[in-house]
A and B are shown apart, each in its own frame.
Chain A
Amino acid sequence: MREKIIAIHSSRGGTGKTTIATNLALTYAREGSNIALLDLDFRAPSLFGVFSEGIKKPVKCWLNDFMLDRCAIGQVLIDVSDKYSLDGKLLIGLANPTIEAIRNMMGRSRAWEVAAAKKLFSMRTSIFNEMHMDCCIFDTSPGIQYSSINGVVSSDLTVIVTTLDSLDVEGVKNMLVEFYDEFEKKSVILMNKVFPQTRMWSDNERNGLITKMQRVFKRPIIGVIPCYCDVLEANRDSPLIAEKPGHPFLKDLQEVCKKLENS
């Protein structure tokens, strides 16, 4: 993987974006890649909770501070590689989860949103040329709002995470036509929380579902991850990969990692 920004996006909340983003970043870093993982969901930050055990508190610089021009991106990124015994590096940029910070990021002017988009575009130089990262993953907010649009348009590739819920499917279809096509953004679909019986399916049955959904979305499907109850029930204050390294969810995700490298 060379110098690629991947945005993890969805049309609605609860599709598993953060679980995917976190474990994707950790899988790449375990394999020796240098990864930066940024929480771009300023309205409902979650990476702070997921990595709460792996970081020193209090956090000095949040991603909010970088966006508000109060510090450089290098001051925001926290190295958690040692905590998770990784071969590569994993740097995380956290969004401030306090209500005051969330309120502060809401209702900003259009001029500020332009400056925020410019910041995300220009950040590429620091991440790849100065910090020598191989890949940067954005965990974006769901749907169409400034933080998610800015994240998606400044990325090289977007992974749209969706379930088979009809509202999710319709939402993604609309988003693809009205946003992704308009902005000519490269995107792939990752189906998550698909009904559990797909685990027992033959390759033919699984490929049949993939072909059908590719026709619906008119985009490549890079993975079909079944719904694992224990993933849904898992404690969210540490990444799944650290808690259950051999979990089948992670094996499915490894396949996704390989496909993403070639996308």
Chain B
Amino acid sequence: MENRTENSRALDELDVKVLLVKLIGEVHILNQKVDSMVEFGGKMLKAQEEFLQRTTKQEHTNETFKLEPDMVTLFSLPSALRKTVMALYKLGEATAEDLARETKRLRAVESSAANQLVRMGFLSKRREGRNVYFFIE
């Protein structure tokens, strides 16, 4: 009778030990999962931040943000700017001086209009020596 009680106590102790080992194992696995989730969340956050930085930059940088100066879009432009775009369609590529000759307006007016159109994303410009050439991309 006494022997049986001792055996049963030993078995109980063994069960508790096994259970504890199993529990520790589960906790370890859970811990690893939480770690990988935190790592993934961090990566996502970083990607989102990078995307936001990129798009915000695009909105404010004309070099990357372009608009098409198609004829229907030109309807919505002020006539002073439309005239410059139309002259560029005719000339292909032109300096402010060439534009002024075509539109019969002052060079300063054309330079200002063309640069505004570049800032708005409708035109592009390139420098060649002392000359700046405006063009429709």
Q: Which residues of B contact A182 (CB under 8 A)?
A: 75, 79, 82
Which A residues contact B (CB, under 8 angstroms)? 109-111, 113-114, 117-118, 121-122, 146, 149-150, 153-154, 179, 182-184
Q: Which residues of A contact B75 (CB under 8 A)?
A: 179, 182
- The main secondary structure of chain B at its interface with chain A is helix
Question: B89 and A113: CB pair below 8 A?
Answer: no
Across the interface, A111 reaches (CB within 8 A) one of B68, B72, B86, B92, namely: B68
Query: Contacts A117-B70, A153-B71 given; 20 further ones with Cβ under 8 A?
Result: A110-B73, A111-B68, A111-B70, A114-B70, A114-B136, A118-B89, A118-B92, A121-B89, A121-B90, A121-B92, A122-B92, A146-B70, A146-B72, A149-B71, A149-B72, A150-B71, A153-B89, A154-B89, A182-B79, A183-B74
Across the interface, B68 reaches (CB within 8 A) one of A110, A149, A150, A183, namely: A110
Complex Cα gap A150–B90 (Å): 12
Question: A113 and B136: CB pair below 8 A?
Answer: no
- The main secondary structure of chain A at its interface with chain B is helix
- Return the chain B residue nearest A181 by Cβ: B79
* Smallest CB-CB A-B distances: 6 pairs: A110-B68, A149-B71, A113-B70, A110-B70, A114-B70, A121-B89
Q: Which residues of B contact A121 (CB under 8 A)?
A: 89-90, 92
CB within 8 Å: A-B pair count: 44
- Return the chain A residue nearest B122 by Cβ: A114
CB of A141 to closest CB in B, whole Å: 13
Contact with A along B60-93 (1 / 0, CB 8 A): 0000000011111111000100110010011010
Residues B72-117 near A (CB distance < 8 A):
72-75, 79, 82-83, 86, 89-90, 92
30 A-B pairs (CB sep. < 8 Å): A110-B68, A113-B68, A113-B70, A113-B71, A114-B68, A114-B69, A114-B70, A114-B136, A117-B70, A117-B71, A117-B89, A118-B136, A121-B89, A121-B90, A121-B92, A122-B92, A146-B70, A146-B71, A146-B72, A149-B71, A149-B72, A153-B71, A153-B89, A154-B89, A179-B75, A182-B75, A183-B74, A183-B82, A183-B86, A184-B79
- Return the chain B residue nearest A110 by Cβ: B68
Residues B8-66 near A (CB distance < 8 A):
none
Q: Which residues of B contact A153 (CB under 8 A)?
A: 71, 86, 89
Complex Cα gap A183–B74 (Å): 9
Q: Which residues of A contact B79 (CB under 8 A)?
A: 182, 184
- Return the chain B residue nearest A147 by Cβ: B71
CB of B134 to closest CB in A, whole Å: 14
CB of B72 to closest CB in A, whole Å: 7
Complex Cα gap A151–B86 (Å): 13
CB of A29 to closest CB in B, whole Å: 27
